[in-house]
Amino acid sequence: MNSAKSAILVTTVSNAMMKLISFVASIVLARLLTPAEIGTFSVAVAFIALAQMFRDLGIGNYLVQEKELTRERFRSAASITLIAAWTIGILILLVSDLFAGFYQEQGLSSILQVLAFNFFLIPLASPVLSLLKRNMEFKVLAGIHLMAAAVHSMTSIVLALAGFGYMSLAWGAVAGIVVTLLGATTFWSRTGMGSRMICLIPFLAEWKRVLPFSTKSFGTNLLGTLGEHTSDFVVGRVFGFHALGLYSRGQGLIDHMNGVLFSAIQAVAFPRFSELLRHGQDIKEPYLRGLSYLALIQWPAFIFIAVFAQPLILLLFGEQWLGAVPFLQILAIGGIFSTLSGLAPGLLLSMGEAGYNLRAQVLIQTLRITLILLAATQGLVWVAVAQVATYLFQLLLYSKYIKQLVNLDYVELLAVLSCSIKIVLISSLPGGLVLFYGQQQVNFPTMLICAAATFCLWIASIRLFKHPFYNELFQIHPKIG
């Protein structure tokens, strides 16, 4: 098994375990916290996510992509990260009351003040994690992230049981970052950068080398994060925290499902594409193969979620969350489009084309923000529809850029995806029959029967059509063959 396959396998397994930990925690917390409490925390997290972009400044991507990473360049990158993060942490503490006043919820101030503490810890760990990713040390990264996820979830649940409300989620996040820092410190020796004290001693001699790439990458990430969380800001302000809690529950379930494979391949794709380019190798074939695998796995799952949204919500979270069903169904449809554009940003970054990513994000997020603001005047369901429209535009735009830079023909892309599409259509037949002939029977037993039938048809179709993914399954689990 080559390094890319091994990395994807390790990252997929670790991501699946992290998502399982987070997923189980979300099920427990859904019964301990109200939609309004979840909604309040979601707005605070959206604000912190934007601040994180100013904290990182794209330095992490620079450290992975830089072809000639010297000790001096690493020190400059780490120093910029440290200065930016500590500055942002102080600013969050200063503006927390103003932000809470805008939403007329004082609890937001308390959440932000706790989460601001992370900004004083993260810069001591993030450069190390980027180097481990650059060196393809995915087993080490998996161990660190798994421990952090477990501590994060356990802390949140224990504090929620103790009656801390939404503050349990904030303190859980801090606990997770502390574990990440401890893990990064433990494995510092694998970075090859000498004394770990260099992360604490300011050094900016190579800042001119670091910032040009980082600025474009930062702009791309900032716009992406702003667009991603626009719905949180708008829904929380226009419809209230209870409505936002329901909306974020639907979005959260999609994110959990995405995280098992999608985020695993995304995490490996950028460093892998960068590695291939450093060695003068072709990246088109790995890119197309990745899209084929993503479509094969993600699309049946999205279709299944759209059909069985109601029993899923009831089973996992309880009746108080049934209002999330329409949002979950609509966002699951959007996931079909977003799947095919997920690898494009990493591919462009690995080619040093950060400008294309920045241009794409300006167009995509401008459209997303505009559509969400307009949709909010019509109702909450239309906010979810606006997200789907944005995913479709994102797919079309990135496809255009990839065609230009990688000489990728649409006919070639369709040929690669055709086998996956046939398998998806066949494996989705049980859900289709329920959708068109048995809507009144969409319950938990029906869902279990359809899940088993879908999986059996999926496996049989992969073998029947000799999809390349079958060879991957055979290598990992020879008994399947």
Is 50 exceeded by the pLDDT of residue 477?
no
Q: What is the pLDDT of residues 243-282, one digit of tens each?
A: 999 999 999 888 877 766 566 566 555 566 666 666 666 7
Q: What is the pLDDT of residues 67-125, one digit of tens each?
A: 777 777 777 888 888 888 899 999 999 999 999 999 999 999 999 999 999 999 988 88
Q: Helix, strand, coil: what percent of the chain each, to 5?
A: 85, 0, 15
Contact present, 395 and 340 (Cβ < 8 Å): yes
Contact present, 275 and 286 (Cβ < 8 Å): no
| pTM summary value | 0.77
Quick one: tokens of 102? 């805008």
What pLDDT, on the 0 to 100 scale, is given for residue 239?
93
Q: What is the pLDDT of residues 154-190, one digit of tens each?
A: 999 999 999 999 999 999 999 999 999 888 888 766 5
Chain centroid, CA 50 distance in Å: 15
Dihedral angle computed from the Cα positions of residues 28, 32, 33 and 34, in that order, rounded to the nearest 10 degrees: 100
Is 60 exceeded by the pLDDT of residue 194?
no
Dist CA 365 CA 276 (whole Å): 30
| Long-range contacts of the stretch 310-319 (C-beta < 8 A, 24+) | 310/442, 311/442, 311/443, 311/444, 311/446, 311/447, 312/253, 312/447, 313/249, 313/253, 314/444, 315/444, 316/27, 316/30, 316/253, 317/26, 317/27, 317/30, 317/31, 317/249, 318/30, 318/31
Dist CA 56 CA 211 (whole Å): 11
- What's the distance, Cα to Cα, between the start and end of the chain in Å? 17
Average pLDDT estimate for 410-417: 83
Q: What is the pLDDT of residues 136-149, one digit of tens each?
A: 777 888 888 899 99
Question: At 1, is the pLDDT very low, low, confident or very high (cuts 50, 70, 90)?
Answer: very low
Dist CA 212 CA 207 (whole Å): 9
Question: At 6, is the pLDDT very low, low, confident or very high (cuts 50, 70, 90)?
Answer: low
Dist CA 401 CA 367 (whole Å): 18
3-class SS at 398? helix
Using alpha carbons only, what angle is made at residue 241 by residues 249 and 365, rounded to the nearest 5 degrees?
70
Question: At 389, is the pLDDT very low, low, confident or very high (cuts 50, 70, 90)?
Answer: very high
